[in-house]
Each structure stands twice: as structure tokens, then as C-alpha cells.
Amino acid sequence: MTIAVYAGSFDPVTAGHLSILRQAARLFGHVVVVVAVNPDKHTLLTVAERVELLREVVAHHPNVTVASTDGLIVEYARRIGASVLLRGVRGATDAQFETTLAQANRALAPELSTLFLPAESHLAEVSSSRLKEKLARGEDVSDFCPPAVVARLRQRLPPSPSPWSSR
């Protein structure tokens, strides 16, 4: 059985991430979604919250599990016997960044293949950062992430008041 690793910060998980995951679940015997901890990245949600949300939204995929690591993804992939690293791409900018990352990973772990999967076209502009910005402005983001994510973000990011509201 081929094990694939789909790693990211998932702060928070978006419909774009889930689009990639649905494709991966059809392609591979087992997919491990890994919340990667980057100490240089300031996240809104804790690692435990991101893992919890991911587990909730992937529960209907029997061949998908969720984990986290603060180490290198290639080291994690080796430990669990994975042979594929999955990366989602939204457009040309992502492709350039992801190609550079894939080359670095290949240098560290030549036995791992990187597979790029595009999100569905209507989700090409969805990112975790953009999702948080929209919610902070009070915009509806329900088309871009699962309800559990919307609820968690609303707890953390109350909408900013309109500049036209009375003070």
C-alpha cells in the first residue's frame, strides 16, 4: 500500500486543502495529513486545534489520518514508510514555490516522490490567510471552509466593526 503525506500549516484547513485531500484519498491507499510546525510562522490556531479540526473534517475518509510534527517532513515521511509527498498548487506562484521545495526535499530524501495536485478551479484563490482576512472583515467564508472551521475562527476573530457604525 502506498502511503502519501500531505503536509502544511493548515491554519486553518480550507476547502482548497480538502479538494487536494479528496483527490489524494482516491489515489493512495493511505494519506497522512501532517500539521507541520514552523516556529517562524505565527499561527492563529494551536497545533492541537488544527489537528482536531482536520480530524473532524476528514473523518469520513477511512484511509486518511492526521498527525503533526515539528521536524522535517521528509524525516516524518521516512519514519512512517511513506513514498509520496503531496503538494497542492493554486497557480503559477504556488508552482514555482512548490517546485523549489520539491527540489530541496529530493536532495534530502531522493527516495520520496513529490506529486503536485491542483485544487478545483473555483478554489484557486482560497488560502488560509485570505480566509482569515475575509472573516475579520465580517465577510461570509462558508464556501471556503467547513462549518467547524468557520465556528472556530469566529471565536478567535470577531468581525471588526464597520467604519460607518456609530461609536
Q: Is residue 165 a known part of a binding site?
A: no
CB 7 within 8 A of CB 36: yes
Q: Is 56 annotated as a binding-site member?
A: no
Tell me: is residue 78 an annotated ligand-binding position: no
Q: Is 106 a catalytic residue?
A: no
Query: Does the annotation mark 128 as catalytic?
Result: yes
Is residue 124 marked as binding? yes
Tell me, yes or no, if 41 is annotated catalytic. yes
Catalytic residue among 30, 50, 90, 132: 90
Peptide bond before 159: cis, by omega within 30 degrees of 0?
A: no
What DSSP state is assigned to residue 43?
Answer: -
Catalytic residue, candidates 41, 42, 60, 167: 41
**CA-CA distance, 79 to 83, in Å (whole number)?**
11
Q: Would you say 73 is a known binding-site residue?
A: yes
Q: One of 19, 30, 128, 132 is an active-site residue; which one?
A: 128
* Helices of type H across the chain: 15-27, 47-58, 73-80, 92-108, 128-136, 147-156
Question: Is 89 marked as binding a ligand?
Answer: yes
Active site residues: 17, 41, 90, 128
Q: Which residues are annotated as a binding site?
A: 9-10, 17, 41, 73, 87-90, 98, 123-129
